[in-house]
């Protein structure tokens, strides 16, 4: 009787390691934000990771991915303003508001530049938007897109969002190119549809590219292919340091003694310590002066009081 050969032992799992920083990923078309995050986390063999707000699979552009201690500040990017460049296809309405859906209606396009400019003016400033059914918003614990795929349409309440800038980049019928800077929670797909509805011909989003999240831009970003092609040691070098997320906050430098007290969660009366204070109260990034190490964020209050906000573990940044 032939003996079966012993099964090959599985190779040992490589233990994940602490990685701290921010990857400015230029997300490719066709990838979900979560799939891109999982891929980057695996390539870095990172212990902890999170993204800063989803980009639709059909969209490309800036997707900041946070690793390790940087995840403590990812909420700031979720709340931040976003900048997009989009191509709106006039005359065709789809059930998803983008190229991935089925065509619901087509109409001839006969609009002038003056009509377009007049329409865009209606969407600058604070506007109301009804979130699309094909979105990740949840109802009873289930994302809306799951209901949509099952053919169910639910009532959605309109939400207030703010369009800070809406600029016409070009028009070659039936394609309208726009740049949008907007508050969190704005759906560019819905904006495209609403512009088309106002022009009387309907529209859907043909292309969407995110170019900015808060103060972060595509400058210094890497594509997924570029990141994959790097050697293991080079990948961590492609990350921004943790304080790359905090560049809009003023810096406060602490002595070694004050550093210890800050890390123990104590409020510090910096006015009495001869420390250079920011011109205004509010959030600040806090460093140990002697080492240049980021300690976290604090709140500058009245009378030169610094209150710890989010502290980070001892990491090199």
Active site residues: 56
Residue 26: which of 179, 216, 234, 243 has the closest Cα?
A: 216
Query: Comparing C-alpha atoms, which of 249, 257, 287, 284 is closest to residue 273?
Result: 257
Quote the crossing angle between the two packed helices 113-121 and 188-199, to the nearest 10°: 130
Q: Compute the distance between CA of residue 233 and CA of residue 308 in angstroms, rounded to an integer.
A: 34
Which residues make Cβ contacts (< 8 Å) with residue 181, sequence separation at least 6? 81, 82, 83, 84, 163, 164, 165, 212
For tokens 């976290």, the residue is 296
Q: Is the dihedral of CA 188, 143, 218, 296 positive or negative?
A: positive
CA-CA distance, 207 to 84, in Å (whole number)? 10
Reading across the β-sheet that carries 251-254, which strands appear in turn? 251-254, 282-288, 293-300, 305-311, 268-269
Distance CA 308, CA 73 (A): 14
Q: Let me know how many helices (H) and strands (E) the chain has, helices first.
A: 8, 19
Residue 31: CB partners within 8 Å, gap ≥ 6?
39, 57, 224
């Amino acid at each position: 009787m032939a003996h079966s050969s012993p099964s090959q032992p599985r190779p040992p799992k490589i233990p994940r390691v602490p990685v701290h920083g921010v990857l400015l990923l230029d997300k490719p078309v066709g990838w979900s934000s979560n799939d891109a995050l999982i891929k980057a986390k695996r390539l870095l063999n990172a212990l902890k990771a999170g993204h800063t707000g989803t980009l639709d699979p059909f969209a490309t552009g800036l997707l900041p991915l946070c690793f390790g201690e940087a995840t403590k500040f990812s909420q700031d990017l979720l709340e931040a303003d976003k900048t997009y460049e989009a191509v709106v296809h006039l005359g065709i309405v789809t059930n998803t508001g983008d190229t991935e859906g089925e065509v619901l209606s087509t109409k001839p396009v006969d609009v002038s530049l003056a009509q377009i400019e007049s329409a865009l003016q209606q969407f600058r400033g604070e506007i109301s938007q009804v979130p699309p059914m094909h979105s990740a918003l949840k109802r009873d614990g289930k994302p809306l897109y799951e209901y949509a795929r099952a053919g169910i349409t639910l009532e959605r309440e309109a939400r207030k969002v703010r369009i800070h800038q809406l600029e016409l980049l070009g028009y070659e019928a039936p394609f309208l190119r726009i740049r949008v800077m907007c508050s969190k929670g704005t759906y560019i797909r819905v904006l495209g549809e609403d512009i088309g509805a106002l022009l009387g011909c309907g529209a859907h989003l043909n292309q969407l590219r995110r170019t900015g999240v808060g103060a972060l831009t595509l400058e210094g970003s890497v594509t997924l292919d570029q990141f994959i092609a790097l050697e293991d040691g080079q990948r961590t070098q492609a990350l921004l340091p943790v304080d790359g997320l905090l560049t809009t906050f003023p810096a406060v430098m602490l002595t070694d003694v004050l550093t210890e007290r800050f890390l123990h969660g104590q409020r510090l009366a910096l006015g009495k310590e001869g420390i250079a204070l920011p011109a205004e109260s509010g959030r600040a990034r806090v460093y140990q002066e002697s080492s240049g190490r980021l300690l976290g964020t604090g709140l500058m209050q009245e009378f030169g009081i610094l209150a710890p906000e989010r502290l980070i573990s001892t990491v090199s940044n």
